[in-house]
């Protein structure tokens, strides 16, 4: 019998390399010198590039790799993952979807995490030359991902009220990917919403942090699969 796995996709993750139009901005140039990198090799980070990002469209949804860092650390270190019941994907700002090997151990230092994410965005896998990478390109777009894995069960503040156990049960029984929004403000893109099978809300009208949603789902899944 095939072991049940919870498919989780971290949707619209604010991960991207510094856009070309910002390369000459003094704030970007300064941080590039500090880290000994070219501007286009660095992750866009609101903490470092706040003023440079002022003219970017949808700036409120961008430049927050820390959200992915916290959520990913929680998921990778979970009992669900360690016991082989988690299948994890990261959907980034430009639309690509990357798969995460269950044995990935992200650097505990935030700057180290940013380095491997910038490497991933530049080369589509980490390590770049590995035959069996720990992070790799799964799909060039969310559409391609959905065509391969099925439409997404979405965690959304405007979805149908449900408990974490109900949501996890649906995902495990249907085999469909479960999507968590990773952006700090705003709403999902319409193109993302059109790729959903159904949507649930764990706290109707009260947006939750991405890592809080991930924690609730992990606890429900570990209990349902009798890992606790």
Residue by residue, what is the 3-state secondary structure of 20-84? HHHCCCHHHHHHHHHHCCCHHHCECCHHHHCCHHHHCCCHHHCCCHHHHHHHHHHHHCCHHHHCC
Nearest to 74 by CA among 200, 215, 171: 215
What pLDDT score was predicted for residue 205? 67
Q: Residue positions in the annotated binding site for S-adenosyl-L-methionine?
A: 181, 186, 203-208
Find out whether 171 and 220 touch, Cβ atoms under 8 Å. Answer: no
Q: Residue positions in the annotated binding site?
A: 181, 186, 203-208
Written as six digits, the tokens of 129 are 């030359």
What pLDDT score was predicted for residue 45? 96
Report domain extents, the chain. Answer: 6-15+63-224, 20-60
Find out whether 202 and 170 touch, Cβ atoms under 8 Å. Answer: no
CATH 3.40.1280.10 corresponds to the domain 6-15+63-224: yes
* Dihedral of alpha carbons 160, 162, 164, 170, sign: negative
Which pTM does this prediction carry? 0.95
Find out whether 5 and 99 touch, Cβ atoms under 8 Å. Answer: no
**Consecutive 10-residue runs of the chain (228 residues): their mean pLDDT?**
86 98 95 92 95 94 96 96 97 97 90 95 94 96 98 95 97 97 93 97 84 96 93
What pLDDT score was predicted for residue 1? 45
Written as six digits, the tokens of 131 are 């035959």
Q: What is the dihedral of CA 103, 65, 119, 218, to 10 degrees?
A: 20
């Amino acid at each position: 019998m095939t072991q049940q796995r919870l498919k989780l996709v971290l949707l619209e993750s604010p991960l991207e390399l510094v856009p070309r139009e910002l390369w000459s901005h003094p704030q970007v140039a300064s941080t590039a010198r500090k880290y000994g990198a070219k501007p286009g090799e660095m992750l866009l980070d609101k903490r470092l590039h706040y003023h440079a990002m002022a003219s970017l469209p949808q700036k409120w949804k961008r430049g927050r790799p820390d959200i992915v860092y916290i959520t990913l650390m929680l998921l990778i270190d979970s009992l669900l993952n360690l016991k082989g019941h988690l299948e994890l994907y990261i959907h980034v700002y430009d639309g690509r979807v990357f798969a995460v090997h269950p044995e990935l151990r992200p650097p505990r230092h935030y700057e180290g995490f940013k380095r491997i994410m910038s490497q991933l965005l530049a080369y589509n896998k980490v390590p770049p030359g590995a035959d069996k990478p720990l992070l790799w390109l799964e799909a060039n777009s969310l559409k391609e991902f959905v065509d391969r894995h099925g439409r997404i069960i979405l965690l959304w503040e405007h979805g149908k009220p449900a408990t974490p156990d109900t949501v996890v049960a649906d995902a495990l029984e249907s085999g469909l990917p479960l999507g968590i929004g990773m952006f700090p403000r705003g709403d999902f893109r319409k193109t993302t919403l059109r790729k959903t099978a159904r949507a649930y809300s764990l706290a109707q009208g009260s947006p939750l942090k991405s890592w809080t949603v991930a924690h609730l789902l992990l606890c429900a899944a570990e209990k349902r699969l009798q890992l606790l």
